[in-house]
A = this chain, B = another copy of it.
Amino acid sequence: MDELDTEIIRLLQTDARRSNRELARTLGIAPSTCLERVRALTRRGVIRGYHADIDHAALNRSVQAMVSVQVRPLSRAVIESFKNSVSALPEVLSVFVLAGGDDFLLHVAVQDLDHLHGFLLDQLSQRREIAGFRTSVIFQQVRKPVLSRLPDPA
């Protein structure tokens, strides 16, 4: 992970469809060198994939919410099973397993408030392992598509 790798990562985060040639030109290196770097990064698992960023409205997901959940008993089996079930639901974008007051945080995106209500009642309220949950509708999100590499912990 030298300076060059860091820069490659930064550029591919910004625009994953950049051609290898253009990438090489920007970095001032030969295309074959650049290609080999990208392949090495992929082989090492640094680059995990390339995804198109789609407008949520086009996916009929204009309403987003965060749902914090507590489950009981807080056992490995319950946590695993809950995590797997909810991540399979189409409404759920992300599942976070948390330390602290809440056990899970679910990021969900649905058509409208009616469907959010329906999701909470049909998919969460019914579960016996849920000790409680709290829903916060998301008014706005600022997401950073390009992450810088932080300095080494030193």
Residues of A within 8 A of B (CB): 1, 9, 12-17, 45-56, 58-61, 66, 83, 87, 90-102, 105, 109-112, 114-115, 134-153
Q: How far apart sit A143 and B94, CA to CA, in the bound complex (Å)?
A: 4
Given A97-B140, A138-B96, A142-B87, A54 and B47 touching (CB < 8 A)? yes
Asked whether B139 lies within 8 Å of A97 as measured between CB atoms, the reply is: yes
A45 to B120, CA, bound (A): 30
Interface of A is mostly: mixed
Distance in angstroms between the alpha carbons of A142 and B135 in the assembled complex: 19
Closest 9 A/B residue pairs (Cβ): A12-B52, A16-B50, A97-B140, A60-B150, A100-B136, A99-B137, A98-B136, A46-B58, A95-B142
Given A13-B51, A111-B151, output 11 extra A-B contacts at Cβ < 8 Å.
A1-B58, A15-B50, A16-B50, A47-B54, A47-B55, A49-B52, A54-B147, A61-B150, A97-B141, A98-B137, A111-B152
Among B50, B110, B141, point to the contact of A17 (Cβ < 8 A): B50
